[in-house]
A and B are shown apart, each in its own frame.
Chain A
Amino acid sequence: MKKGYYGEFGGQFVPELLMPPLLELEEAMKTIMKSAEFCDEYTRLLTDFIGRPTAMTHCRNLSRELGFNLWLKREDLAHTGAHKINNTVGQALLTQMMGKTTLLAETGAGQHGVATACAASLLDLDCEIYMGAVDVERQSHNVKRMELFGAKVVPVESGTKTLKDAINAAMRKWIADQETTHYCFGTAAGAHPFPLLVRELQSIIGREAKAQFVEKNGKLPDYVVACVGGGSNAIGMFHDFVPEESVKIIGVEAGGTGEPGCYNSAPISLGTTGVLHGMNTKLLQTEEGQILPSHSVSAGLDYPGVGPEHVYLHDSGRVEYAIINDGQAINAFKTMCRKEGILPALESSHAVAWALENKDSIPAGSNVLVNLSGRGDKDMDIFEKYTAEYGN
């Protein structure tokens, strides 16, 4: 495959002015990230700071009801409450070792912003976070956390005022500040080498999950499931399972309200091929190539594009991508709380919902391992608004 490509997807579609920092980053991945100094320190931080390995939980009550075993990989238990921290601590350490002083990031749900701000604080880096004005409003709790960690949060008023516009704004800023600044991209998407870099840093999820599952059960799970926004928690979970042919792998995209023709966040299932944010991928777009607004009840899945490796895994048939809509995710959110004492992020609730919604087609006794990418405390305002509008 061509460098930076997954089949025909991926690439480096950026202004020439961004090529030097991308090439510099590629080089740093080959040298710094492979060094013992980086590996030792990163491993130490994963354990001592992030709290890895995260637990794997058997959902006893739900499993009894469903007729199959539901397992959760508990990224909600990682420091700051989501898988995002695995990536940001790695990139922050890389930034420090590259001799740069500032972390720049975009955020949708705010989870990646919080994780970046936290990593910056830990490693004494300056931090600037771009966030769509709509998201600033719907995730105000996370904005406060970022500011408490010392980050500057910049609301983005252009375009749809959500994640895609925050990415545009951050890319513009990176052009100007590339000498001192690393763009700590939040998901396994964007221009090469970001999809690869983020997958490397997130694949700890699948590596741990596989080892934990095999140790407990003496065999591999039958299904591995994760939600797909940009695709970082999913690719991190999937990577070690992809070569295991017996394992069915399912990525779950956000279908929005589920009404016909509604705005959604399911570019693999409902989008077409095109170029945005540095990559050739599947996009929600008009026939004329203008990017459409996306929608999901979960801010972290609300993105009109997706990481290129997922499109490749879809087209090659290795991974199945399904759609879960807002209502089904809210139902899974409540179910998990009431039955298992776990409050999942609305993003992760999409993955849980896939298991609940497919209970009739999943063979009895199967083992279904779902990546619980984050915790749902941040989503309480959205949940309350949703139930006020649609009832309990």
Chain B
Amino acid sequence: MIEDLDPVIHAPKRLAAMAVLASATTVTFTFLRDHLDISDSDLSKQMATLEKAGYVEISKSGRGRGATTTFKITGAGRKAYARHRAALAAILAEPGDS
């Protein structure tokens, strides 16, 4: 079951980002940055990793101070996240030694 955990999603910041995206139609850069409590550059780096994996779409609109970056989960991302969450739940449902 541990092998079902997705290494791209399992990193805490990316897991939180995917969780927010999984329950929203679109999410702005600002919302995600504030929720994850990380810097702009860190968020950009995490989201670039998720985009490279095909899990999120990034779109930008406007210019200058009014520019907005938004994120949206892809179909592949939704499936990967659901699989990861199911693997987490299955592992934790197993009797442990702690």
Tell whether A pairs with B: no
Interface residues of A (CB under 8 A from B): none
Residue numbers of B with Cβ under 8 A of A are none
